[in-house]
Chains A and B, each alone.
Chain A
Amino acid sequence: MTLSPPVPNESDVAAPKSSAGGGRQRPTKKRLTKFNRREALAGYLFISPWIVGFLVFTLGAMIYSLVISFNYYNLAKNTMRPAGLDNYAALFDDPKVALSLRNTLFYAVMAVPLEICFALFLALLLNWVGRGAGAFRTLYYLPKMTPAVATASVFFLLLNGNSGAINQGLGLIGIEGPQWLVDPAWVKPSVVLMTLWGVSGSMVIFLAALKNDPRELCEVASLDGAGRVRQFFSITVPMISSAIFFNTIVLTIAAMQVFDQAYLLFWRHQTNASPDSSLFYGVYLFQQAFRQFDFGLASAMAWLLFVIIMFITLIQVKFGNRLVYYEGDR
């Protein structure tokens, strides 16, 4: 993409620069309502790559997806024939859609709070240590740098029910570990475990928020006799509440779309010991789209997911705004 936009601009802007500059120096009333045309044009040219991408790959694709969801798509012939609401009806008729949605919600409800707590705990720990925490932060971040495939291939073996290291470790303390990747009840905890190992992204966000933690406020509070627990809930939590809020929303959206781990652990090939329990929404959507090539159903599924995610996010925002303390608001 040799960016042509800005180039023609280069020559014709040079001449009338004095007038443009003059206009900028005196912010009159006229200036506020009327834009400098040359500058505006240049602005549009600069953002034009995004506009093109947005129109084609986002907005265009969304409309296209909506259209496909009301059609049967024949990939071989590249044709569509109207399906009416059939694809949306199939969302309810196909029990696997509901199953995968239930699995995914169950996973999200389990994973997100654990991720938040674990990340917050690690961040508090590192923040508290202060000096010397840098090295540990680096170590804790390494899982985040590990490609999901590598993580999955290791956890695939670590979680092996018979000879995996996790169950051997549990055996040492007298616990008989479950058949992680086979037992339907333990499939989702397995994925949660893998996700928790890579929780350091959220940790870094918390760590950044904790940097703003007002030391003085804590000292004043401790003079007033507030214990550490009290300080934590009355000062620290409100101060980082916007970070908690942000992480919760982002992690929830990610959990609703979980794909990599589930695919790698369970769906690489046909043999799957617990096909019901490990069917996540993202996996089923992918299968419908690119294994069955049922683009109509896949698109309807995608829109359902979109609506659900928007709904969850809206609820979170509504609750969050009541709970989150924004510095400088009052």
Chain B
Amino acid sequence: MSVTQPSSATLPIQAQPAAMAAAGSTGRDRRQTANRRRNRTLTIVTGTVLVAFAALFLYPFGWLISASLKPRGEVFDNALFPKTLQLDNYTKVWDELPLLHWLGNSIVIALLAAGFVAISSSIVAFGFAYFKFPGRTVLFGLVLATMMLPGAVTLVPQYLIWKNIGLLGTNVPLWGMNLFGSAFYIFLQRQFFLGLPRELFEAARVDGASYFGLFRRIALPLSIPSFIIVFLFEFQASWNNLQASLIYLNAGSPNDFTVPLGIAYAMTKYSPTNGGHGDYQYVMVASLLVTIPMLLLFGFGQRYFIEGVATQGRKG
């Protein structure tokens, strides 16, 4: 990018005036014209680079869609447009794999996980944001500290806890801990509550609102944006949670699998090294179908996702 830079101010622009620039004779105008022309070259270069990267990022999607429409023998031909269009992959896949079960299980679990964690984190965050109590700073420090803990440390004990409660074999371990709030979401919600003017709550107190009333009638409705961020983040996290599914559901029937476990199972089922016939087109259809809900989620809540990720950076 530094190549075109040094000459910008001294270019003999009059010789070939840029079409978009108004022809001017003062030095200032001249410089602007030069700048604009330089900018246009840069725009073309950056535009090309942007498009190239977009192609790079989108290619696997294109490949996936295309492969999902091919017959078994052509999945690997890498043609972006299928030579033989085999649309009935999309009808057969439902018989091949219990995809409907997987989607249903994952939707239920993700809704429970996201709903519970959004509500509980919000309640806890309000406790930290609004009330003064001894040990508040230390406790909130602990909340943040738990984010540093590798999940591996609590993996085994949590399994044993669920086993001892007698909830192994159910899907409760996949959302149960969300009843107790989650560190990053508590942090995020608290940030939001701290931004609300305190007079709002004082006024409501004078009007006789209870503490819980403050939360339910004022804090919660006003924090809908950050509530949505938490909900969407957790929905996505739950939808993708392979490890928990492996631990808690792998021993059960494939009908009880979640989406990530199901796809992993399908990859193995059709693998030639594992006795399958390489019907990867079904894996592709299934992969595409389980991705679509996430893309829809992003379509509806893009700004919440971006805002949420940016917040992650700000806490550092």
Contacts and interface: CB of A to CB of B under 8 A. Distances in A.
Contact of A10 (B61, B63, B126, B210): B210
Contacts of A24: 202
Contacts of A20: 205
Nearest to B208: A14
Nearest to B295: A145
A147 B283 CA distance: 13
B63 A154 contact: yes
B236 interface: yes
A142 B291 CA distance: 10
A133 to B, nearest CB: 8
Indicate the member of B1, B78, B302 with the most A CB atoms within 10 Å.
B78
Contact of B291 (A56, A133, A146): A146
Interface in B36-79: 46, 49-50, 53-54, 57-61, 63-64, 67, 75-78
B13 interface: no
Indicate the member of B152, B159, B298 with the most A CB atoms within 10 Å.
B152
A259 B53 contact: no
A65 B309 contact: no
A103 B212 CA distance: 51
A298 interface: yes
Contacts of A295: 156, 160
Contact of A43 (B63, B127, B143, B273): B127
Given A271-B273, A302-B152, A150 B64 contact: yes
A1 B181 CA distance: 12
A268 B273 CA distance: 12
A106 to B, nearest CB: 19
B131 A43 contact: yes
Interface in B283-306: 283-284, 287-288, 290-291, 294-295, 297-298, 302, 305-306
B73 to A, nearest CB: 11
Given A46-B215, A148-B260, A205 B150 contact: no
A197 interface: yes
Contacts of A1: 116, 120, 179
B81 interface: no
B2 A228 contact: yes
B114 interface: no
Interface stretch (A47-55, A92-100, A109-117, A213-221): A47-55
A146 B298 CA distance: 10
B91 interface: no
Contacts of B130: 43, 46
A150 B215 CA distance: 40
A155 interface: yes
Contacts of B212: 6-7, 9-10
Given A165-B63, A290-B247, A302-B155, A148 B213 contact: no
Contact of A257 (B152, B239, B268, B280): B152
A139 B54 contact: yes
B15 interface: no
A35 B58 CA distance: 57
Nearest to A146: B291
A168 B76 CA distance: 11
Chain B interface SS verdict (over half): helix
Contacts of A126: 50
Contact of B186 (A10, A50, A302): A50
A306 to B, nearest CB: 5
Nearest to A308: B150
24 contacts: A6-B215, A10-B212, A39-B131, A40-B133, A46-B131, A47-B124, A49-B179, A49-B180, A53-B180, A125-B46, A140-B54, A141-B298, A142-B57, A147-B239, A147-B263, A153-B266, A154-B60, A205-B313, A243-B313, A250-B316, A263-B246, A268-B271, A298-B156, A306-B149
Q: What 9 A-B pairs have minimum CB-CB distances, sorted nearest first?
A: A53-B180, A46-B127, A246-B316, A43-B131, A205-B313, A40-B133, A208-B310, A61-B157, A47-B127
Interface of B: 1-2, 5-6, 46, 49-50, 53-54, 57-61, 63-64, 67, 75-78, 116, 120, 123-124, 126-128, 130-134, 136, 139, 142-143, 146, 148-161, 163-164, 177, 179-181, 186, 202, 205-206, 208, 210-213, 215, 236, 239-240, 242-243, 246-247, 259-260, 263-264, 266-268, 271, 273-274, 280, 283-284, 287-288, 290-291, 294-295, 297-298, 302, 305-306, 309-310, 312-316
Given A49-B179, A141-B298, A153-B267, 14 more contacts: A7-B212, A10-B211, A44-B127, A50-B143, A57-B154, A57-B161, A128-B46, A145-B297, A146-B291, A152-B267, A153-B263, A160-B76, A205-B310, A285-B155
Interface of A: 1, 3, 6-7, 9-11, 13-14, 17, 20-21, 24, 35-36, 39-54, 56-58, 60-62, 64-65, 68, 78, 122, 125-126, 128-129, 133, 136-143, 145-158, 160, 163-165, 168, 197, 201, 204-209, 227-229, 242-243, 245-247, 249-250, 253, 256-257, 259-260, 263-264, 268-269, 271, 282, 285-286, 289-290, 295, 298-299, 301-303, 305-306, 309-310, 313
